[in-house]
Amino acid sequence: MSELRFDGKVAVITGAGGGLGEAYALMLAGRGARVVVNDLGGTFDGKGSDSTPAQKVVDQIKAAGGEAIANYESVSEWESAQKIIQAAVDSYGKIDILINNAGILRDKSLLKMEIADYLKVIEVHLHGTFFCTKAAFGPMREQGYGRIVSTASAAGVYGNFGQTNYGAAKMGIVGLMNCVCQEGARYGVLANTVVPTAGTRLTATVMPPDVVDKVKPEYVAPMVVYMCSEKFQESGKIFTAGGGYFSRAAIVEGPGVFFDTEAGITPDMIAGKIEQISALEGGSEYDSAMDQTGYVLSKMI
Ligand code: NAI
């Protein structure tokens, strides 16, 4: 099997000063990509800033013979997000790959969650992903090539106690990527989402130390790096990765039930058919909202 290479490619990785982002940066640089290592360097709950983490990763890449620059801007404001992407264009002339990875946590149960903690998490994850994607999309569209990998979480796809802010942001990112997938299709810009599991400072508070060791960020990186490659041709997909496990997650809609709209539809009729309405067997994964609407229109009684 020939090695996937990234010679001539330019990658921006947000939040790459540690954890998963660092693993992505080292692997991409090790395979020839020139990398912008972005990291604000704050605490795990999004306080303060520090240039050390991003610089350390750049030093590692350079020591191994790779090419990288550090960037310390925050993803969560439009002006600073544009500077992250501009750093790639200014230093390397373009951007081919964007990995939206920066993240923080501010877990609290719904009633205890401060509005500021809700907003901050949405700002970093959802707004940050939107801002960086928007800034990168123009240059990618112009050159007719781009790979965007954004980061969701099982907490959003499946739900988790105490993470309403985080879960909402992470599932918002799935919706965002589904739409970017539509807009990028004609221009060779592919947008996908990864659902990782890794022992990092974000999960160290909830994972026992032996589990942290078993699910190293290095075990997620091969999937994300593949998703950033020319060989990878999917768009609008969700892949999970962690601890040596790789899979695809999807939103599937059952074939459903059609009632005659002319005859009138009551809640009692819904109750009577709820098993068939809920069934997923024979269902579909739709490529777009138009496809889903097309199915409904084609079957309407
Ligand atoms: P981490 O805390 O090691 O890495 C996140 C990085 O993002 C940090 O280095 C942090 O300084 C940086 N960052 C935070 N706010 C930023 C901002 N506004 N601008 C730029 N950089 C910023 O944590 P980890 O686990 O590596 O997380 C990476 C991504 O993976 C996050 O989006 C996280 O939500 C997601 N994730 C991680 C999982 C895991 O099991 N570790 C599970 C599911 C999702």
One-character DSSP codes across 160-223 = -TTBHHHHHHHHHHHHHHHHHHHHHGGGTEEEEEEEE---STTTTTTS-HHHHHHS-GGGTHHH
Q: Is 193 in the pocket of ligand 1 (CB under 6 A)?
A: no
pLDDT at 205: 78
Let me know whether 115 and 64 are in one domain.
yes
For ligand 1, the distance from its centroid to the CA atom of residue 42, given in whole angstroms, is: 10
Let me know whether 34 and 165 are in one domain.
yes
Let me know whether 111 and 47 are in one domain.
yes
The owner of tokens 């994964």 is 285
Closest C-alpha to 141, from 177, 183, 89: 183
Let me know whether 191 and 286 are in one domain.
no
pLDDT at 2: 85
Residue 4 resides in a domain: no
Residue 34 resides in a domain: yes
Let me know whether 80 and 132 are in one domain.
yes
Let me know whether 92 and 50 are in one domain.
yes
pLDDT at 121: 98
Which residues, 6 or more positions from 170, have their beta carbon under 8 angstroms from its beta carbon?
125, 151, 152, 153, 155, 156, 157
Amino acid at 262: E
pLDDT < 70 stretches in the chain:
none
Q: How large is the C-alpha radius of gyration of the chain?
A: 21
> pTM higher than 0.95, yes or no?
yes
Residue 255 resides in a domain: no
Let me know whether 291 and 166 are in one domain.
no
pLDDT at 119: 98
Task: Output b/e per residue, 37-52; b: 16+ Cβ within 10 A.
Answer: bbbbbbebebeeeeee
Domain end marker among 227, 248, 269: 248
Residue 241 resides in a domain: yes
Q: Are 85 and 2 within 8 A, CB to CB?
A: no
pLDDT at 213: 86
Q: Is 166 a catalytic residue?
A: yes
Quote the domain boundaries for residue 289.
Answer: 261-299
What's the Cα-to-Cα distance from 72 to each of 38, 61, 151, rounded to whole Å? 6, 17, 19
Q: Is 102 in the pocket of ligand 1 (CB under 6 A)?
A: yes
The three-class DSSP label of residue 35 is: strand
Let me know whether 20 and 91 are in one domain.
yes
Residue 3 resides in a domain: no
pLDDT at 114: 98
- Give the C-alpha separation, 119 to 79, whole Å: 18
What's the Cα-to-Cα distance from 160 to each of 170, 205, 240, rounded to whole Å? 12, 15, 16
Mutation test residue for ligand 1: of 27, 37, 38, 39, the one with most atoms within 8 Å of CB: 39
Let me know whether 100 and 241 are in one domain.
yes
Let me know whether 60 and 200 are in one domain.
yes
pLDDT at 301: 78
pLDDT at 247: 98
Maximum separation of any 2 CA atoms in the chain, in Å: 73
Token pair recorded at residue 34: 């020139």
Let me know whether 284 and 193 are in one domain.
no
pLDDT at 16: 98
- Give the C-alpha separation, 188 to 201, whole Å: 35
Domain count, the chain: 2
| Domain harbouring 179, CATH code | 3.40.50.720
pLDDT at 40: 98
Q: Is 66 in the pocket of ligand 1 (CB under 6 A)?
A: no
For ligand 1, the distance from its centroid to the CA atom of residue 202, given in whole angstroms, is: 7
Let me know whether 130 and 278 are in one domain.
no
pLDDT at 83: 98
Residue 193 resides in a domain: yes
The owner of tokens 């892949």 is 239
